[in-house]
């Protein structure tokens, strides 16, 4: 038997996730949506750390990176009107 491809591992998870979206039923998901949001936030934080080339520390309450204006600027982007995200939106 050959090795599994990444697509073979990922496809069932994506299919299941989209089924929950289509049915508008969060109870069909295997994990709370907060877990997915936190996982995505960790990926974004890792990418920002890589881009600035240093270790970052984040205030978990505010979602802001401590003492690093350059890294904090990467938490969002400059949007053009009317596609503006409110300034209080969290990562």
Helices (H), the chain: 6-23, 33-52, 69-73
Question: Any idea what DSSP says for residue 27?
Answer: G
Instruction: Give the pTM.
Output: 0.64
Residue 27 class from Cβ within 10 Å (0-12 exposed, 13-18 middle, 19+ buried)? exposed
Give the pLDDT band of residue 88 (cuts 50, 70, 90).
low
Phi-psi group of 24: left, alpha or beta (phi > 0 → left; psi -120 to 50 → alpha; rest → beta): left
Give the pLDDT band of residue 51 (cuts 50, 70, 90).
very high
Query: Residues 16-22: what's their mean pLDDT?
Result: 89
pLDDT for position 74 = 94
């Amino acid at each position: 038997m050959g090795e599994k491809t990444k697509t073979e591992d990922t496809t069932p998870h994506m299919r299941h996730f989209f089924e929950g979206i289509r049915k508008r039923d969060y109870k069909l998901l295997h994990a709370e949506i907060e877990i997915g949001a936190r996982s995505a936030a960790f990926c974004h934080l890792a990418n920002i750390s890589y881009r600035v080339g240093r270790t970052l520390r984040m205030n978990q309450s505010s979602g802001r990176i401590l003492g690093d204006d350059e890294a904090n600027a990467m938490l969002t982007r400059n949007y053009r009107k009317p596609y503006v995200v409110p300034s209080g939106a969290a990562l």
